[in-house]
């Protein structure tokens, strides 16, 4: 079968006059780009051909190359045109594949550093940056610059480094010297080694005694934040599981940088470290503890015995016992390290100097029990069963304004200095202006008591006894998300910049996406009821009722230490698992040990059976959750995102041109094409 005839290529008589061009001086158009050959089918290098081989025309390759080298450009063009006219389609395709890559150039090798870094700021996917760092030394040096990763942090709405907890002055933000733009050209011209970033540092460890240093570059900051966010979605593990034989109800839970503190209605306060190890039991109250607030190593508590007690958490000793209330102390807050404010069922609030152990002011005005209060600066807002909220001056000890509008008891209040939000038994949420006391909005939607409120910026999140969680915009005073969160009352609610964590009396703990309103996951297996849930950036504490016992679970979402990480800098999160189970350790009445010995906690046969049942239930839930998440998410995890720290020293500088040739761009359009691609 004869081959398909090809159109002859015109043989130009003048290199500046090409048929089809209307202007004699028009330059020749570049050839149409052809697909780059794959690495496995790279075009052969004919320069190594044996010169003794003959092509059938009476002279060898050596003579042909020599003759071609002696020609001028016009003669070479005529020769190439003659040869190409003799080729069929298959040979022309071979020529296109052979010539195409030689017309490409790496744009980053010719563009100035400032423009290269500007192009990289348009990249949205961190995997793109990670893969780009493996192209060549030049690409790796550009991708390692902080400018690209700062932009990536902003795109992913990760908090600024200066906002991270436990920041250190002078180390929270990278300095100008971390950017390649001003001095990269000078360093590369001196043929110095590529930029070596400081070791990646994480902001926090699960242990308060060996907290890791702050991340000191945007690249390491993004890495740490990405690992934490991924662990919240599909990873994390239970550090500790504590079981108490007490039948008391959990009334309060606090998670601080150094302690986990649990208060019960049986007059006991248990103190743990942040890994869940029991430290001590604070004993002194003679009736249930219904309110407490920590500040550093100081804890203030109050309860049904009408006393307010001040504790030193490092020793477990009571520093002061403050008396004055005539009924149950229902709420407590602190204004700085020295001032505490308590609200009681005796209708009063009291301002205490906890260093001196004296009462500074008695705030009188409510006509019923003071149920909740919140502090901002010198102002305290209290909510009462008399259906009103009041704004007080702490320093002056007097009522500034009374907020009236609810038709039933107020159970929750939030205050950020600009707005006051109150939740009531009348199913409504009201937003107030603290400056003049007027009601800015009445938010309707809940069908039962609104007992959970949190205010953060222009976002308000509410939870009710109807089991729903609602996210409100305080700019438009409208609902952003309506979440059917639980089958019964919402018992605990907290949110941060990216997620909402809710616990309900249906025994479930759920994590929600704040921005999209979808459920991200469920923490652990369902329990009988969830008493309290608190979380911080890398840790969550859940107190729930399981098999008739109160169980505390400490979840960790912290990235692994650098020494435990794989060679890939951005590794997949660990699968949900129980890191260590301490079910044999129970929360029991604290007994002072003999000097030099650790305290022991008794455990009955029923406790051991309950612990075994809970462990088996947890293992089943872990297996089910592992199967469902791994098949759906593991392939999509950024196991290759953190490949920016893979070894690239074996990439030779002469390979840069061949690697960049696979970008498949023409020289004239490299900048615009790369910008479109990014």
- Rounded to an integer, the average pLDDT of 466-483 is 96
In this predicted structure, the answer to whether residue 203 has a pLDDT above a threshold of 70 is: no
User: What was the pLDDT predicted at 607?
Assistant: 52
Distance CA 42, CA 94 (A): 11
User: What was the pLDDT predicted at 457?
Assistant: 92
Distance CA 106, CA 163 (A): 39
In this predicted structure, the answer to whether residue 184 has a pLDDT above a threshold of 50 is: no
Strands 450-456 and 289-295: unpaired
Choose the most confident range, by mean pLDDT, from 167-171, 382-386, 557-561, 595-599. Answer: 382-386
In this predicted structure, the answer to whether residue 376 has a pLDDT above a threshold of 90 is: yes
How far CA 603 is from CA of 528, 543, 587, 597, 638, in Å, comes to 22, 19, 9, 18, 44
User: What was the pLDDT predicted at 556?
Assistant: 92
Q: Model confidence over 13-40: pLDDT tens digits?
A: 444 444 444 434 444 444 444 444 444 4
- Rounded to an integer, the average pLDDT of 246-263 is 90
Query: Of the candidates 228, 208, 198, which has an alpha carbon nearest to the alpha carbon of residue 272?
Result: 208
In this predicted structure, the answer to whether residue 460 has a pLDDT above a threshold of 90 is: yes
Kindly tell me the burial class for residue 249, based on how many C-beta atoms sit within 10 Å of its own C-beta (0-12, 13-18, 19 or more).
middle
Strands 358-363 and 370-376: unpaired
Structure tokens at 14: 């003048």
pLDDT, greater one: 578 or 444: 444
How far CA 324 is from CA of 304, 327, 382, in Å, comes to 13, 9, 19
In this predicted structure, the answer to whether residue 183 has a pLDDT above a threshold of 90 is: no
What is the 3-state secondary structure of 2-71?
A: CCCCCCCCCCCCECCECCCCCCCCCCCCCCCCCCCCCHHHCCCCHHHCCCCCECCCCCEHHHHHHHHHHC
pLDDT, greater one: 626 or 648: 626
Q: Residue 329: which residues within 8 A CB-CB, separation 6 or more?
A: 290, 291, 302, 303, 306, 307, 308, 342, 343, 344
CB 480 within 8 A of CB 514: no
How far CA 408 is from CA of 8, 268, 610, in Å, comes to 93, 32, 42
Distance CA 659, CA 678 (A): 18
User: What was the pLDDT predicted at 658?
Assistant: 41
User: What was the pLDDT predicted at 2?
Assistant: 46
Distance CA 103, CA 544 (A): 67
> If pLDDT is split at 50, 70 and 90, which confidence band does 208 have?
very low
Q: Model confidence over 106-139: pLDDT tens digits?
A: 888 888 888 888 888 888 888 888 888 888 888 8
In this predicted structure, the answer to whether residue 674 has a pLDDT above a threshold of 90 is: no
Helix (H) or strand (E) holding 631: helix 605-633
In this predicted structure, the answer to whether residue 190 has a pLDDT above a threshold of 60 is: no
Q: What does the radius of gyration of the chain's CA atoms come to, in whole angstroms?
A: 35
In this predicted structure, the answer to whether residue 73 has a pLDDT above a threshold of 70 is: yes
Strands 269-272 and 278-282: antiparallel
Dump strand ranges (E) for 137-288.
237-244, 250-255, 260-264, 269-272, 278-282
In this predicted structure, the answer to whether residue 278 has a pLDDT above a threshold of 70 is: yes
Choose the most confident range, by mean pLDDT, from 67-76, 145-154, 187-196, 663-672. Answer: 67-76
- Stretch among 241-245, 325-329, 344-348, 665-669 having the lowest mean pLDDT: 665-669
User: What was the pLDDT predicted at 458?
Assistant: 94
Q: What is the pTM of this model?
A: 0.66
Choose the most confident range, by mean pLDDT, from 58-62, 227-231, 380-384. Answer: 380-384
DSSP 367: S
Q: Model confidence over 377-432: pLDDT tens digits?
A: 999 999 999 999 999 999 999 999 999 999 999 999 999 999 999 999 999 999 99
Instruction: For residue 548, give the 3-state DSSP assignment.
Output: coil
Helix, strand, coil fractions of the chain, as percent rounded to 5: 25, 30, 45
User: What was the pLDDT predicted at 620?
Assistant: 63
User: What was the pLDDT predicted at 618?
Assistant: 61
Q: What φ, ψ does residue 426 adopt, rounded to 5°?
A: -80, 10
> Sheet holding 577-578: strands in order across?
529-535, 539-546, 549-556, 237-244, 577-578
Q: What φ, ψ does residue 28 adopt, rounded to 5°?
A: -65, 140
> If pLDDT is split at 50, 70 and 90, which confidence band does 147 have?
confident
In this predicted structure, the answer to whether residue 467 has a pLDDT above a threshold of 60 is: yes
Angle at alpha carbon of residue 198, lines to 193 and 204, rounded to 5°: 165
What are 483's strand-pairing partners?
469
User: What was the pLDDT predicted at 121?
Assistant: 84
Q: Model confidence over 583-626: pLDDT tens digits?
A: 333 443 333 333 333 333 344 455 555 556 656 666 666 665 65
> If pLDDT is split at 50, 70 and 90, which confidence band does 48 have?
low
Helix (H) or strand (E) holding 402: strand 398-403
Distance CA 357, CA 266 (A): 25
Query: Of the candidates 548, 618, 546, which has an alpha carbon nearest to the alpha carbon of residue 580?
Result: 618
Structure tokens at 608: 């051991």
- The per-residue DSSP string of 483-516 comes to EE--SS-EEEEEE-SSEEEEEETTS-EEEEETTT
User: What was the pLDDT predicted at 206?
Assistant: 38
Distance CA 35, CA 33 (A): 7
> If pLDDT is split at 50, 70 and 90, which confidence band does 200 have?
very low
Distance CA 264, CA 262 (A): 7
Distance CA 169, CA 555 (A): 30
Chain mean pLDDT for the chain: 75
In this predicted structure, the answer to whether residue 490 has a pLDDT above a threshold of 90 is: yes
CB 464 within 8 A of CB 450: yes
Handedness of CA 211, 216, 218, 220 (dihedral sign): negative
Query: Of the candidates 329, 348, 324, 352, which has an alpha carbon nearest to the alpha carbon of residue 339?
Result: 352
Structure tokens at 202: 């994480």
Q: Which residue has the tokens 């006059």?
A: 17
Choose the most confident range, by mean pLDDT, from 74-88, 117-131, 468-482. Answer: 468-482
Distance CA 131, CA 119 (A): 15
Q: Model confidence over 327-351: pLDDT tens digits?
A: 999 999 999 899 999 999 999 999 9
> If pLDDT is split at 50, 70 and 90, which confidence band does 433 have?
very high
Neighbours of 4 (CB within 10 A): 8
Kindly tell me the burial class for residue 541, based on how many C-beta atoms sit within 10 Å of its own C-beta (0-12, 13-18, 19 or more).
buried
In this predicted structure, the answer to whether residue 189 has a pLDDT above a threshold of 60 is: no
Q: What φ, ψ does residue 589 adopt, rounded to 5°?
A: -55, 130
Q: Model confidence over 492-549: pLDDT tens digits?
A: 999 998 999 999 999 999 999 999 999 999 998 999 999 999 999 899 999 998 888 8
Instruction: For residue 178, give the 3-state DSSP assignment.
Output: helix
Q: Residue 73: which residues within 8 A CB-CB, separation 6 or more?
A: 15
User: What was the pLDDT predicted at 617?
Assistant: 62
- The per-residue DSSP string of 93-147 comes to HHHHHHHGGGG---GGGTS-HHHHHHHHTT---HHHHHHHTTT-HHHHHHHTSHH
């Amino acid at each position: 079968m004869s081959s398909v005839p090809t159109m002859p290529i015109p043989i130009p008589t003048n290199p500046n006059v090409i048929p089809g061009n209307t202007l004699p001086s028009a330059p020749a158009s570049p050839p149409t780009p052809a697909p780059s050959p794959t690495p496995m089918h790279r075009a052969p290098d004919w320069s190594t051909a044996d010169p003794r081989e003959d092509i059938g025309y009476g002279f060898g390759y050596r003579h042909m190359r020599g003759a071609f080298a002696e020609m001028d450009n016009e003669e070479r063009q005529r020769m190439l045109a003659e040869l190409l006219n003799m080729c069929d389609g298959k040979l022309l395709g071979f020529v296109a594949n052979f010539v195409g890559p030689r017309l490409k150039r790496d744009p980053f090798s010719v563009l100035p550093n400032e423009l290269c870094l500007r192009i990289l700021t348009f990249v949205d996917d961190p995997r793109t940056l990670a893969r780009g760092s493996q192209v060549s030394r030049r690409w790796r040096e550009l991708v390692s610059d902080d400018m690209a990763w700062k932009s990536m942090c902003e795109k992913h709405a990760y908090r600024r480094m200066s906002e991270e907890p436990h920041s250190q002055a002078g180390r929270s933000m990278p300095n100008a010297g971390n950017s390649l733009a001003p001095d990269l050209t000078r360093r590369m011209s001196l043929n110095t080694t590529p930029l070596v970033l400081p070791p990646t540092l994480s902001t926090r460890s699960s242990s308060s005694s060996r907290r890791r240093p702050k991340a000191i570059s945007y690249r390491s900051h993004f890495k740490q934040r990405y690992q934490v966010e991924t662990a919240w979605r599909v990873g994390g593990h239970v550090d500790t599981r504590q079981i108490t034989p007490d039948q008391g109800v959990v009334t309060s839970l606090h998670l601080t940088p150094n302690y986990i503190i649990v208060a019960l209605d049986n007059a006991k306060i248990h103190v743990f470290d942040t890994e869940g190890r029991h430290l001590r039991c604070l004993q002194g109250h003679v009736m249930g503890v219904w309110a407490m607030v920590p500040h550093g190593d100081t804890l203030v508590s109050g309860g049904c015995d009408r006393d307010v007690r001040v504790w030193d958490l490092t020793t477990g000793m009571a520093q002061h016992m403050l008396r004055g209330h005539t009924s149950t102390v229902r709420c407590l807050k602190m204004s700085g390290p020295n001032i505490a404010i308590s609200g009681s069922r005796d209708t009063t609030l009291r301002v205490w100097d906890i260093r001196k152990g004296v009462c500074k002011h008695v705030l009188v005005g409510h006509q019923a029990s003071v149920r909740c209060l919140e502090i901002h600066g010198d102002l305290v807002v209290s909510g009462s069963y008399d259906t009103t909220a009041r704004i007080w001056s702490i320093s002056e000890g007097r009522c500034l304004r009374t907020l009236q509008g609810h038709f039933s008891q107020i159970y929750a209040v939030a205050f950020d200095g600009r707005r006051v939000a109150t939740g009531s038994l009348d199913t409504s949420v009201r937003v107030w202006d603290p400056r003049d006391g007027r009601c800015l909005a009445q938010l309707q939607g809940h069908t039962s008591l609104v007992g959970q409120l949190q205010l953060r910026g222009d976002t308000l999140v509410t939870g009710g006894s109807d089991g729903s969680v609602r996210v409100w915009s305080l700019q438009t005073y409208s609902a952003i998300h309506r979440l059917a969160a639980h089958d019964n009352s919402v018992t605990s609610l907290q949110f941060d910049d990216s997620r909402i964590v809710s616990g309900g009396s249906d025994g479930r703990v759920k994590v929600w996406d704040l921005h999209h309103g979808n459920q991200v996951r469920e923490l652990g297996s369902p329990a009988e009821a969830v008493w309290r849930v608190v979380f911080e950036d890398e840790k969550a504490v859940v107190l729930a009722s399981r098999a008739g016992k109160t169980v505390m679970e400490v979840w960790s979402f912290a990235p692994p230490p650098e020494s435990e990480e794989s060679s890939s800098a951005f590794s997949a999160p660990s699968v949900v698992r129980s890191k260590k189970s301490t079910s044999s350790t129970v929360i029991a009445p604290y007994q002072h040990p003999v000097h030099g010995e650790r305290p022991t906690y008794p455990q009955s046969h029923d406790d051991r059976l309950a612990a075994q049942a809970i462990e088996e239930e947890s293992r089943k839930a872990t297996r089910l959750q592992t199967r469902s998440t791994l098949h759906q998410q593991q392939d999509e995890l950024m196991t290759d995102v953190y490949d920016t720290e893979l070894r690239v020293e074996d990439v030779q500088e002469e390979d840069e041109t061949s690697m960049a040739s696979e970008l498949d761009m023409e020289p004239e359009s490299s900048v615009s094409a790369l910008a479109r691609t990014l």
